Structures are given as C-alpha cells and as structure tokens.
Amino acid sequence: MKQYIDTGKIVATFGVRGELKVDAWSDAPEVLLDFDNLYLHDGTCLRVKSARVHKGQVLFHFEGYDTVERAQSLLRQVVYFDRDDVELPEGSYFVQDLMGLAVVDVDTGENYGRITEVRQTGANDVYFVKNDEGREVLIPAIAQVVVETDPAGGVMKIRPLEGLFDL
C-alpha cells in the first residue's frame, strides 16, 4: 500500500494571487478542504494557505505560491495526500488499496479473479472482478457478500450470493 495517495490534478491557475484549480479525484471534492498539506510526486510538500470548492473543483492557495507566474510552475502536476493524515471509518478502504486484490471464496477457496475497478452506485459500491480468462463479474460491496478485506495480504474473501457466477 502506497503511503501517498493521488487525489487530483492541478489543471489551471485562478485569479492573479496564485490560486490553483485542482480536479479532485473524488466524488466529494469537499474532502480535500481538510488537508493542511498536499504533496507532489517528488515529495515536495505544499502547505495549504486556503482551500475552497468552486464549480466542482477545489481552489488551493499554497504557501510560497503568491503570484500567477509562481503558481504556473505547478500546472499539470498530480497532488497526493499522506494516508496518515486520514482516519478512515472501520471497514472503509481507499479504492487504490482495493485495486488488484485477489477475490476468493471464503468457503471453498476458489479464486474468482482480481478487482480491476470500483464504482460507486449510490446504494453500495460495486467491485469489477476479472479472472485470468478475461471474464468479468460484478460483486456488490455488501456485508452479505464481502466477508473479509485484507489489503495488506492482497485478498478479499467473499461468500457469493446464489447465481452470482452463473453464466
């Protein structure tokens, strides 16, 4: 599991005082407002002076970036947060940590494939699982199906609903 999690991309400057527009890679851009620091790929720490949501994007003003010219040096860069700066609720995981997990049957040990995508549907998340033959199945992320999730161990154990894997 990576220590720094990609959370958005700096796409434009905003105004003349060095604010930057960030496309947040989250359903709720407001989540980014809670960070005091964000990071660049090379480890550079960007200290947040201010942040606000504007038209679905987050406008950041970072310390030391007080002019448009200075802010432009950050354009097209991906920003990251440190996973230690976030306290997830019990049983919640970063999507990034779920990608690639092996999905196995908790009762039989059968390997169904690996998680290739996670989609949020409103009612519950859905895991897209692809096996070695390229067959894809959708697993609902509900307590009746997902028995155990172990990102550190690289596995998710499930108990499929009846008919889930029928062709």
Question: pLDDT tens digits, residue range 55-68?
Answer: 999 999 999 999 99
4-13, 21-30, 145-154 — which is least confidently predicted?
Answer: 21-30
CA geometry: angle at 121 spanning 115 and 125, to 5°? 40
List all residues 6 or more positions away from 33 whose beta carbon is below 8 Å from its beta carbon: 51, 52, 53, 58
Mean pLDDT, the chain, rounded, equals 93
- DSSP classification of residue 110: -
Q: What pLDDT band is residue 155 in, cutting at 50, 70 and 90?
A: very high
For CATH 2.40.30.60, list the domain ranges present in the chain: 4-85
State the pLDDT at residue 28.
Answer: 84
The dihedral sign for the CA sequence 53, 23, 126, 98: negative
Q: What is the pLDDT of residues 101-126, one digit of tens each?
A: 999 999 999 999 999 999 988 889 99
CATH level 2 (architecture), domain 95-158: Roll (2.30)
CA distance 41 to 51: 20
State the pLDDT at residue 7.
Answer: 93
State the pLDDT at residue 120.
Answer: 84
Q: What is the pLDDT of residues 65-90, one digit of tens each?
A: 999 999 999 999 999 999 999 988 88
For CATH 2.30.30.240, list the domain ranges present in the chain: 95-158
Q: What pLDDT band is residue 50 in, cutting at 50, 70 and 90?
A: very high
State the pLDDT at residue 74.
Answer: 97
The CATH homologous superfamily to which domain 4-85 belongs is RimM (2.40.30.60)
CA distance 131 to 165: 12
pLDDT(167) > 60: no
